[in-house]
Structure formats: C-alpha cells, structure tokens
Amino acid sequence: MKKITAFGSFLGLAVVLLWYANRDGESARVKRVVEEARSAVSWDGSETALQQIAAAGRLAGADEVKGAVLAARQHIPRLEVQFLDLTVSFTDPTHAKVELTANATTDKPKEINPQEFVLLLHKNEGHWYIDRVETIRTLQSQ
C-alpha cells in the first residue's frame, strides 16, 4: 500500500512539473509575439513605405493596431519602443494576458511618458495572436 501511495505521489508531482514546464514554454512563446510586436512598432526612419507596410503586417493580431502603427509612421520619423516589466498570465490554455509598461523615444523634443498596457492574446492552431491592446490609466501629478 505504501508503494502505491508513493507512486501516486510521484506521478502527481510529475504531472504538476510537466504542467509548469509547458506553462513556462507557452509564456516564452507569448513573450516572443510581444517582442515581435515591439519590433514592428519601432522604426528608425530609414525604411521605405513598402518596408513600413511589411513591418506593420508582421503584427500578429488586431487590424486596429496595424492601422495605428501605419498612421504613426507617417507622422513620426523615428520611434524606439521598449517594453518593461512584462507579466504573462493565462486565463485558460488558449487565452493569455500580458501586462507591461511601454517607454518610447522619438526625434521630437516632446517627451513621451511611460504608459502601462494590457495585451489580450489568443492561441489558434499553435500560434499566439494579439486580440486587443488596452491602455491603463495612471495617476499623474499635476
């Protein structure tokens, strides 16, 4: 009886460890999609219009985000975006939520304040896609 209990405990531990390992793997996949999005929304001003469209097309997800990126590229010559403090959580195996702080620098003298965002993603046929990007309102000193 003790052998069966020990084996059951070992099997339970193995299942939990596999679940954690898979979850960490999915977290890394989600972070790669977010990094690709960060790369697609950053530019140095040397790209042609066709390269800009191709870069926006690399964004995995919402068409509104792609449209906003293309519109911004027409008005801002250079934009470097950094994502800080990425936190990935899963609401279920096919839906993820990423909370992050974005910081951006441009050629324009006006400072861009860091902004907090929530990205909602879904998994389809093994690939993660951005469904929605939400801003988080923060208290700012006046």
User: Cα(141)–Cα(114) distance, rounded to whole angstroms?
Assistant: 14
Angle subtended at Cα 71 by Cα 70 and Cα 76, rounded to the nearest 5 degrees = 100
Number of domains in the chain: 1
Is 32 a domain residue?
yes
Average of per-residue pLDDT across 131-138: 81
Is 142 a domain residue?
no
User: Cα(131)–Cα(123) distance, rounded to whole angstroms?
Assistant: 10
User: Cα(43)–Cα(38) distance, rounded to whole angstroms?
Assistant: 10
Is 141 a domain residue?
no
pLDDT of 59 strictly over 50: yes
Strand partners, 90: 96
> For residue range 72-129, what is the model confidence (pLDDT) as tens digits?
767 777 778 888 889 999 989 999 999 999 888 887 767 677 889 899 999 999 999 8
Indicate which CATH number applies to the domain containing 55: 3.10.450.50
Model pTM above 0.85: no
Is 117 a domain residue?
yes
Ordered DSSP codes for 57-120: HT--B-HHHHHHHHHHHHH-S-EEEEEEEEEEEEEETTEEEEEEEEEEEESSSSPPPPEEEEEE
Produce one character per residue of 42-79: b if its CB has 16 or more CB atoms within 10 Å, e if not: bbeeeeeeeebeebbeebbbbeebbeebeeebeeeeeb
Question: Domain of 124?
Answer: 2-136
What pLDDT is recorded for position 142? 47
